[in-house]
Amino acid sequence: MSTEAKRKIRNIACIYLFFILVWLIILGIYKLRQYMEHLEQMRRSEAYMFSYEGYFKHNIAKLVDGKLEFTNHKGEVYIIEDDIDLKKIDEEEEAYIEHKINKFGEFQIIEGEDTLEKIANFNNNMTHIKVWNDVDKEYKTISESEKLHEFKEISDLDGLIIYMGQTSEKGVENIDELDIVGHDRTWSPTKIIYDYGNGEEKVLEEKDNLYIRDLFKDNSK
């Protein structure tokens, strides 16, 4: 093979190698960008889950007359009672998304004097309240009406938090399913009674709904 031919082959090989190198660089940049976007998405998801936990526990605290204690990433402690206080959680979420901080604070529900009584009321109501179903022409428990899994008695605040975070047969968290109790998992009004289990009953609503806060009241009286 002549020297000229070898030179041409070498030039062609260099061109091919150049384009391969360029392609690898472009591919690397693309993969890096994808990876960075994935990390940002994960960071946003982590921030959302942190914020959601705060709002979720705040709602439960209100139901049992407790208070939500929020300790931020600096160790500063706040009692979350209203929408203005909730901004402290939002600020922590935004700071994490913007890479201003790399860790979250934590939440703790402080029990009130009536917290255990509220949980006992909830147990009784989930067991004894019956909702009229127009289609099946029979009364159903709240769990049956709202398509929740079988209810088991809750003994403490931690158990309530776990229960409210569980999902129904439809994949919706229990706290959202119980937000409004009406006819067959809808907001449609219906007859709702408190069944004492001894043949006696008390009409709670002739044709209306119950709200989640009602489930923490003593409806037996």
**pLDDT surpassing 90 at residue 22:** no
Distance, first Cα to last Cα, the chain: 106
Distance between CA atoms of residues 173 and 116, nearest Å:
22
pLDDT of residue 67: 96
Question: pTM (2 decimals)?
Answer: 0.84
> Residue 139: enclosing H or E segment and its boundaries?
strand 138-141
29 vs 42, higher pLDDT = 42
- Encode pLDDT of 100-147 as tens digits: 999 999 999 999 999 999 999 999 999 999 999 988 999 999 999 999
Phi, psi of 127 (to 5 degrees): -85, -40
pLDDT of residue 7: 66
Distance between CA atoms of residues 41 and 47, nearest Å:
10
State mean pLDDT over 12-41: 80
Q: Token pair of 88, please?
A: 């402290």
pLDDT of residue 5: 62
Which residues contact residue 158 at a Cβ distance below 8 angstroms, ignoring those fewer than 6 apart?
none
- Encode pLDDT of 145-197 as tens digits: 999 999 999 999 999 999 999 999 889 999 999 999 988 787 789 999 999 99
Phi, psi of 147 (to 5 degrees): 60, 40
The identity of residue 7, as a single letter, is R
